[in-house]
Amino acid sequence: MGKKYQRIELNVLGVPPVKHPASNQKERNKRRQVKLRQEALNETRRIDWPVNLYEKRMKLTIFYNRRQANIDSANIIEGIADALEGPCYHNDDQLVEIHYSEQVKSRKKKYKRDRYQVILEPVDISKDAVQS
């Protein structure tokens, strides 16, 4: 086994999965969720994601380069958080810090495809860091 990493970084082509897809998008969204989950599973195996991190509090960062999809950011965050349950952590209630950034190009210069990056890392919240 190689060195154990304390960070997962995924770069995915396409529209991210969402929590609440439109009724005509449910099957397509399911494929997006499976794709992200498989990418996460492959990465956890590749980097030898430590088992003890499945219980830790986590920080989730999402960078989304939007081409034309019309989805609200909260729906995207929830969809990605749900897809990472299992491969990366036990439950998305372990997410204690979330950062979301979206980039949309102008009408003249659009992205060729939607793409997004997901970064997941443990957050060390010690008793000393919490102020009363």
Q: What mean pLDDT do residues 89-100 have?
A: 96
CB atoms within 10 A of CB 38: 12
Of 10, 1, 45, 44, the closest CA to residue 116 belongs to: 10
Give this prediction's pTM: 0.86
Kindly report the number of other CB atoms within 10 A of residue 109's CB atom. Answer: 6
Confidence of residue 104 (pLDDT cuts 50, 70, 90): confident
Query: How far apart, in whole angstroms, are the C-alpha atoms of residue 63 and residue 101?
Result: 5
Tell me the pLDDT tens digit for each residue of 74-94: 999 999 999 999 999 999 999
Dihedrals phi, psi of 85, to nearest 5 degrees? -65, 130
pLDDT in tens, 34-83: 999 999 999 999 999 998 889 999 999 999 988 776 789 999 999 999 99
| Structural domains of the chain ordered from first start | 9-122 (3.30.1330.70)
